Amino acid sequence: MDNKECRRRPFLRARTWRRRVLACVCVGIFSSPVLAQTIGGDITEPAQAPYLADGLNAKANNQSVTASHEPDRTIQAQGKDQWAGFWTRQTMLGDMWGLRPALGKYGITLNLSETSEYLNNLSGGIKRGGTYDGLTTANVVVDTQKAFGLDGGTFNVSVLQIHGRNLSQYNVGSIQTSSGIEADDATRLWELWYQQTLMSGRMDIRLGQQSIDQEFMNSPSLALFVNTMFGWPTVPSYDMPSGGPAYPLSALGARVHYRFTDNLAVLAGVFDGNSTGANASQDSQQVDRSGTKFNLRNGTLWIGELQYTLNQPSTGNLDTGTSDGLPGVYKLG
């Protein structure tokens, strides 16, 4: 319909604008950041995914897409009125008929999150229109001290179920994806690692299958936004083989986090350089649809960051003092 027809039929023009406003409202209601992110280990408490982590962000996300990597040591059984206060209780399903506190006695924490989005391309691109995409994240965290007496250990495993249709691929045609959870439909292993804390909490070592965008090259304050650029940056994705070990991919490796002071820390890791082994002409997500290839034959990725944090909450053995200022972090790496 051209401009002349709009002028002749003003009710059509009004209807067009009403559709656009409705689309924007839908985006605001159904979109949410995908992954909960952390700042190098324990300096900042991992954000709870409303959503992963861990959460994605995510090229997560941005994130996380997943739940907190820290086991919940405060799980308690709830009374018969556990279904009261649906909007105020900590978890949607309460204590799951006693299952959650029963597992909590053995240091086991279960997390299940769903991120659902409806995004709409109002003009330009390949075609106008909207798409739905979603991400379900299941996560199990084990506190080894409670489980079998090994102090300072954490075991983490997470699985992704990616569904829906990608707006960027089918409607926009952009290199940078509109949402941090856009990926090929699949049910795949995401992370599988063991972390050991040493030196009274000053250092921790993580070994196993890891998605490095959960700790490296991210900004936790940007995890509130949907666009993937606020999570794992686009440039590394197109510079590294298979896009790098970032959502929805991960790679075998090891990372060390050491705190010189309560505010100054270094985060360093070494990982397989091509997590799926795909060549330039292949879709890396299709080469390893299950996330269980565990490739170690394609070079090495070294990565490191120096982190200086401000106004962070005191956690564990860290005493960052008190301040009325906003929390922040400076990174060099």
- Whether the upstream peptide bond of residue 248 has omega within 30° of 0, thus cis, is yes
**Which is more confident, 267 or 283?**
267
Tell me if 119 sits within 8 A of 31, measured CB to CB. yes
Selection from 69, 280, 288 nearest residue 193 by Cα: 69
Q: What is the 3-state secondary structure (H, E, C) of the chain?
A: CCHHHHHHCHHHHHHHHHHHHHHHHHHHHHCCCCCCCCECCCCECCCCCCCCCCCCCCCECECCCCCCCCCCCCCCCCCCCCCCCCCCCCCCCCCCCCHHHHHHCCCEEEEEEEEEEEEEECCCCCCCEEEEEEEEEEEEEEEHHHHHCCCCEEEEEEEEEEEECCHHHHHHCCCCCCCCCCCCCEEEEEEEEEEEEEHHHCEEEEEEEECHHHCCCCCHHHCCCCCHHHCCCHHHHHHCHHHCCCCCCCEEEEEEEEECCCCEEEEEEEEECCCCCCCCCCCHHHHCCCCCCCCCCCCEEEEEEEEEEECCCCCCCCCCCCCCCCCEEEEEC
Q: What is the pLDDT of residue 208?
A: 96
pLDDT band per the 50, 70, 90 thresholds, residue 7: very low
pLDDT at 103 over 60: yes
pLDDT band per the 50, 70, 90 thresholds, residue 282: confident
Q: What is the pLDDT of residues 125-154, one digit of tens each?
A: 899 999 999 999 999 999 999 999 999 999
User: What's the start-to-end Cα distance of the chain, in Å?
Assistant: 52
Cα separation, 21 vs 28, whole angstroms: 11
Q: What is the pLDDT of residue 316?
A: 55
Q: What is the pLDDT of residues 30-83, one digit of tens each?
A: 333 333 333 333 333 333 333 333 334 334 444 444 445 665 555 544 444 454
Q: Copy the structure tokens of residue 41.
A: 């280990």
Selection from 248, 312, 225, 237 nearest residue 54 by Cα: 248
Q: What is the pLDDT of residues 159-204, one digit of tens each?
A: 999 999 998 888 998 878 888 888 899 999 999 999 999 999 999 9
Cβ atoms within 10 A of the Cβ of 155, count? 19
Greatest distance between any 2 Cα atoms in the chain: 78
HSE at residue 93, side-chain half, CA atoms within 13 A, is 11
Q: What is the pLDDT of residue 51?
A: 30
